[in-house]
Amino acid sequence: MIRIDGYPIDIAKTETYSFVSKPTSKAVERGPNVNDDVQTDPLQIIMECMVSNTPTGKISIDQTRKFVGAGQPIPGETVFSLLRDIRDRKKLVTVETSKGTFDNMVLSLSIPVSAADGRGGLHFTVTCQQMNLVDNKTVQVAFNLGVNSSGFIKGLVTIWRKRNPPGGVLNGLSEALFWKTAPSIAKGGTLFHADQKTPLSPAALQNYALDQQAEQAEHQQDLDSDFPSAVRAKNRDRYERAQRTAASPMASGSHLDPAVLGLRDPSVFGTK
């Protein structure tokens, strides 16, 4: 028996099952595994159905038909309201057919209306398309860059942009710092100076933390402010300084040209 969201259907005149797979239009390298180059569309079932206002046989004793004629809505009206409510609420339903039970189905309806159909029951075509649902699960994965022979984390360099006083104004100085054993103090790591011999002292760690906080605060301020104007003003200062440097008698190479340095006229571009 055909059931849509648990409601039994008297007759399904036709049942059409669509299992569509679409290959990529691009050339694929010959080999045993082409799964990634084939797209499988969700299952689609199209059924031409009829619900009679005067049920007979097995369906006449179904709970949904027991009170037909006792002042209750006739089956044709009931199923019309049910299907429309499912569609309007965008509800995922279970559809039972002669080929099995299918979950997570989205309904689309086509209902021809005429006086003859209305008297005998409801004739309709329903398209059921399955929605593929997946579970989203967050998994913590330990990522280890590995350490070199001296115990430093491979490929991990932290740039300390120093300020004067700590947490204050940038002074143009910076230093590359290296992590030993682990990539954070919380995980047992130690931060070393650029020489990879001297660990940061407690005072230096405190200064580094203050400078990092100031860096984050400035970044957030840029995001919160009028970003295009703020960037244009900052870029103009950099651009003009580069031009003055290029015009200096000490500048003997095109490597100091602002364009080569990656700086563009902010009045034209307005970007970094």
Run means of pLDDT, 10 residues per run, the chain, 272 residues: 92 94 83 77 94 87 73 83 92 94 93 64 92 75 70 86 89 89 87 93 93 86 60 60 53 42 46 42
Q: Is the pTM of this model over 0.85?
A: no
Q: Which two tokens stand for residue 69?
A: 């004629």
Residue 105 lies inside a defined structural domain of this protein:
yes
Q: By residue range, what is the domain housing residue 159?
A: 143-224
What pLDDT score does 236 carry?
Answer: 61
What pLDDT score does 237 carry?
Answer: 63
170 and 218 share a domain? yes
151 and 202 share a domain? yes
What pLDDT score does 197 carry?
Answer: 92
**Is the CB of residue 157 less than 8 Å from the CB of residue 143?**
no
180 and 192 share a domain? yes
What HEC string does the chain produce?
CEEECCEEECEEEEEEEECCEEECCCCCCCCCCCHHHEEECCCEEEEEEEEECCCCHHHHHCHHHCCCCCCCCCHHHHHHHHHHHHHHCCCCEEEEECCEEEEEEEEEEECCCCHHHHHHEEEEEEEEEECCCCCCCCCCCCCCCCECCCCEEEEEEEEEEEEECCCCEEEEEEEEEEEECCCCCCCCCEEECCCCCCECCHHHHHHHHHHHHHHHHHHHHHHHCCHHHHHHHHHHHHHHHHHHHHHCCCCCCHHHCCCCCCCCCCCCCCCC
14 and 124 share a domain? yes
Residue 11 lies inside a defined structural domain of this protein:
yes
What pLDDT score does 39 carry?
Answer: 86
Give the number of domains in the chain.
3
154 and 219 share a domain? yes
* Crossing angle of the two packed helices 202-224 and 227-247, in degrees rounded to 10: 110
Residue 136 lies inside a defined structural domain of this protein:
no
Residue 86 lies inside a defined structural domain of this protein:
yes
